Amino acid sequence: MITMSREFLNEIISYCKEIYPDEACGLLAGKTAIIEKIYKITNIRHSSFNYEMDAMEQLKCEKAIRKAGLKIIGIYHSHPTSSAYPSQLDIMRVYWPGDPDMLIYPDACHMIVGLIGGVTEVKAFMINSRQKISEIKLNII
């Protein structure tokens, strides 16, 4: 389970709608499974079905996260044209290129904001090294 404030969730949803029809993306940070800070990162793909975080922005955010004494709790992105469930591209993206057994962020959840048909759906998942997808509870406070 991960916990986040309604304010953070609303900020993420607003960002996803602002970037629409492209996928939005970013990082979630905290000390435990409680999100204490969110980071918006530019999707350099500018695509409605794929995202790639701007590497320099991502590095800058990772440094800020470490400096604040936090860790990456999750990664979020939107699905402007599909439901809030990991696509095959999403699953492939969690691994280092060329190594289907090595997760980039092994302890991070993957939060997806589905925006299909004007209905907003938000879900969180864990994806393990065997490409097993497990939905986890998203606790909004």
Burial 35-70 (b: 16+ CB within 10 A, else e): bbebbbbbbeeeebeebbbeeebbeebbeebeeeeb
**Percentage, residues of the chain above pLDDT 70:** 99
pLDDT, one tens digit per residue, over 63-78 is 999 999 999 999 999 9
Which domain, by its residues, includes 110? 2-140
* CATH classification at residue 14: 3.40.140.10
Residue (of 43, 119, 133) closest to 85 by Cα position: 133
Contact residues for 2 (Cβ-Cβ < 8 A; gap 6+): 28, 33, 34, 35, 73, 74, 109, 111, 124, 136, 137, 138, 139
| Number of folded domains that form the chain | 1
Lowest mean pLDDT among 22-26, 72-76, 127-131: 127-131
Rounded Cα gap, residues 95 and 11, in angstroms: 27
> 32: which 2 tokens?
């435990």
pLDDT of 99 strictly over 90: no
pLDDT, one tens digit per residue, over 32-43 is 999 999 999 999
